Amino acid sequence: MSRRITWEDASCPIARAADVLAEPWTLLILRNATAGTTRFEDFRSELGIADNVLTTRLGKLVDRGLLTKLPYRDGGRTRHEYRLTQAGSDALPVLHALGTWGDAHTDSVSAYGPMQLVHVGCGQLTRPGASCDACGKPLVRDDLAWRGSWLSEGEIPLADPVA
């Protein structure tokens, strides 16, 4: 089902962002890409999403510049991986804000508890921001991990965008 309204030319930046991010499955695909998922079959199995929907969403994320499509060989076939671009990586604060809101205002059935942000450099929990709550060092993406997430209770390093 396609939307009847587009906000890509709206003057409001929230409307333009919603035009890119607000379709069903899009934020979950970005979440999993941020956690390092790159292959179609892994997105499909982790999300339980139909092939046609996943194909459409991945295509739109590539077209909008949030993911890039890179070929790889699987046996005799050429397949593709989907990697975060800088624009996709820059959606991390949105994912953190949604996670924080979801922890505060919805009930979890997960045994892992709330999703936490870990500053890998010092090993301590922190909140999204410019610097670590525990050690004060600047927070950079390749020094962050999610803990107690939907995937596992262990730490999941955040994927870097493709250079």
Same domain, 124 and 96: yes
Distance CA 26, CA 20 (A): 8
Task: Please identify, among 52, 70, 88, the residue that sits at the C-terminal boundary of a domain.
Answer: 88
In the chain, the N- to C-terminal Cα span, in Å, equals 34
DSSP code of residue 138: B
pLDDT tens-place string over residues 40-82: 999 999 999 999 999 999 999 999 999 999 999 988 899 999 9
What gap in Å lies between CA 115 and CA 113, rounded to an integer?
Answer: 7
Any domain includes 7: no
Beta-bridge partner residues of 119: 124, 144
Enter the tokens of residue 154: 């262990």
Residue 3 falls inside a structural domain: no
Provide the whole-model pTM: 0.88
Q: What is the pLDDT of residue 112?
A: 66
At 2, the pLDDT band (50, 70, 90 cuts) reads low
Q: Please determine, for residue 160, whether its predicted confidence score (pLDDT) is greater than 60.
A: yes
What pLDDT does residue 10 have?
84
Helix (H, G, I), strand (E, B) or coil at 16: helix
Q: Does the structure show a pLDDT above 90 at 137? A: yes
| pLDDT for res 149 | 67
Judge whether 104 lies within some domain: yes
Tell me, yes or no, whether 24 and 48 share the same domain: yes
Please state the domain count of the chain: 2
The answer to whether residues 73 and 95 belong to one domain is: no
Same domain, 97 and 117: yes
Rounded to whole angstroms, the Cα distance separating 48 from 68 reads 22
DSSP string, 67-124: EEEEEEEETTEEEEEEEE-HHHHTTHHHHHHHHHHHHHHS----TT-S-EEEETTTTE
State pLDDT tens for residues 85-130: 999 999 999 999 998 888 889 887 766 677 889 999 999 999 998 9
Question: Which one-letter DSSP state was computed for residue 146?
Answer: E
Kindly report the CATH number assigned to the domain that includes residue 56.
1.10.10.10
pLDDT of the residue at 103: 84
Asked if residue 32 lies in contact with residue 152, where contact means CB atoms within 8 angstroms, the answer is no
Q: Strand 67-74 relative to strand 77-84: parallel, antiparallel, unpaired? A: antiparallel
Residue at 105 is within a domain: yes
In-domain check, residue 20: yes
Tell me which residue range forms the domain holding 150.
91-157
In a domain, 2, yes or no: no
Tell me, what's the pLDDT at 151? 67
CA angle 39, 3, 59 (to 5 degrees): 20
Specify whether 80 is located in the same domain as 97. Answer: no
Measure Cα distances from 154 to 15, 31, 107 in Å.
36, 16, 21
Q: Is there a domain that residue 76 lies in?
A: yes
Residues 56 and 67 in one domain: yes
Q: What's the pLDDT tens digit per position in 7-34?
A: 888 889 999 999 899 999 999 999 999 9
